[in-house]
Chain A
């Protein structure tokens, strides 16, 4: 099992450019998440999905869009990148058993710089 994978690992954008980050998981997890990690701020939830075809906003959704067309994939889009979106982005997946949630499994991260 590859677990959770993210593409790309690094990216440099100019202000106003767009891009899509891809997250894939092979654990058949229902729940998927996108976080950003900035120094001294821990992880902040951008968007999440509780199943194929569903998405919801997290703490910091502005400037981002997501889609989950297939259960194993969760895409994060930046339509018009801004320097404030320079960050490390982590994707995670999770599952529940009998309605109880469990730990998240994280991807390796994408380091994004917006100039």
Chain B
């Protein structure tokens, strides 16, 4: 059974600091997705990582994928308050189905 684990589950950080969220999954997959969810809102796609070694950056967020280690990271550089949200990673099983991690709730303190 495919399992997707994120850590940490909660992260409180100061503005201007750097941090990394980790996403581990239990079975082979070449594709991984990162989403953002603001409180009371829907999920918004951030990154689509489609192969081993893929790296994508948007503003202060950078995501990478290591399919051999079954690990993706979401790195936050010089955090700002606007990045406060819950971040989910998801892995597709190659059969139209996606399995989501439990999410990392990020709070950036001024």
- A contact residues vs B (CB 8 Å cutoff): 31, 33, 35, 40-45, 48, 50, 58, 90, 92, 94, 100-109
- B contact residues vs A (CB 8 Å cutoff): 31, 33, 35, 41-45, 48, 50, 88, 90, 92, 94, 96-103
Determine if B97 and A58 form an interchain contact, defined as CB atoms under 8 angstroms apart. Answer: yes
Question: Told that A42-B100, A45-B98, A109-B41 touch, could you supply 5 new A-B pairs with CB distance under 8 A?
Answer: A45-B97, A103-B35, A103-B45, A106-B42, A106-B44
Determine if A90 and B97 form an interchain contact, defined as CB atoms under 8 angstroms apart. Answer: no
- Across chains A and B, the number of contacting residue pairs, with CB separation under 8 Å, is 52
Q: How far is the CA of A65 from the CA of B95 in the complex (A)?
A: 20
Q: B88 touches which one: A43, A92, A100, A109 (CB < 8 A)? A: A43
List A contacts of B41 (CB < 8 A): 108-109
